[in-house]
Structure 1
Amino acid sequence: MGVFTYEEEVTSTVPAHRLFKAIALESDIIIPKVAPHAIKSSEIIEGDGGPGSIKKITFAEGSQFKYVKHKIEKLDKESFTYGYTIIDGDALAHTLEKISYETKFVPIPDGGCICKGISKYYTKGDFEIKEEDIKVGKEKARGMFKAIEAYLLANPDA
């Protein structure tokens, strides 16, 4: 098994506590609302939403994937840190054991934040991940992030 790690930072004008709340605590409600073309539903199928809970994300009709299940590994409301691991679903195919993500929302002086993300891809056997596949996934994730950010900017009370 190999482990491929990727790091990324994105700056946002949205405060850290609002982005953390939207992405880590209320994603089941917000993501299907801002991206119905990508995500059909998101639901907790085991646990209370905290660490150890399992979520099932069902992708919209026409997506290349049907669903993924992920386990919440870390949910720290004080440090605005959220981590989860994809443990099941057709996005893993026959090449990946799991994919782990951790995001930390760091407040910055102007009122926005820096979102620091680390992704770790655990491959089966000697399979190697192609850089272009990672780029495609990162672009989709960035699009989702920007949709959530736009929603929060357009809805200050959300």
Structure 2
Amino acid sequence: MRKQLNSHRLRHGRCSESGRAYLITAVVHGRAKIFSDWQIGRLLVREIQQTHEKGWVNSIAWVVMPDHIHWLVQLEGCGMEQLMQVIKSRSTLTINRKLNRQGAFWQTGYHDRAIRDGEDLRPFARYIVANPLRAGLVKKIGDYPLWDACWL
């Protein structure tokens, strides 16, 4: 419990670099499987697409799982903290409105891992898009509707 109470301190003193790739994971509050409804998952996908369209990120790969998201991005026009604040707040408003609910939608914080310069991004992308297979949600990735990778 103590770790959860101090999770805001994980970001303290951290910085993000424009042009660097990051693997980001964010989890739904209480690990509720909200995105099992693919229409709700599409609302989050639209928010991801908007950050790409605004030039804030280059989305390399992502998957929306029933209770979390994995996103491989290259930061461009904003920092990690700003990106995640926008994604989480806008998706919370949109999804809560659609579900006629209020309150927290995402768990506090998120996990990010900077990818080293020159490190091959394909294994990270494969890990991301194979999540539904490993979770037993589908037999083949083409059957899962909430993922994308720039190489397709």
Structure 2 length as normaliser, TM-score? 0.28
The higher relative CO (CA closer than 8 Å, separation ≥ 6) is in 2
Which structure's residues are more often strand, by fraction? 1
Which structure's residues are more often helix, by fraction? 2
Structure 1 length as normaliser, TM-score? 0.28
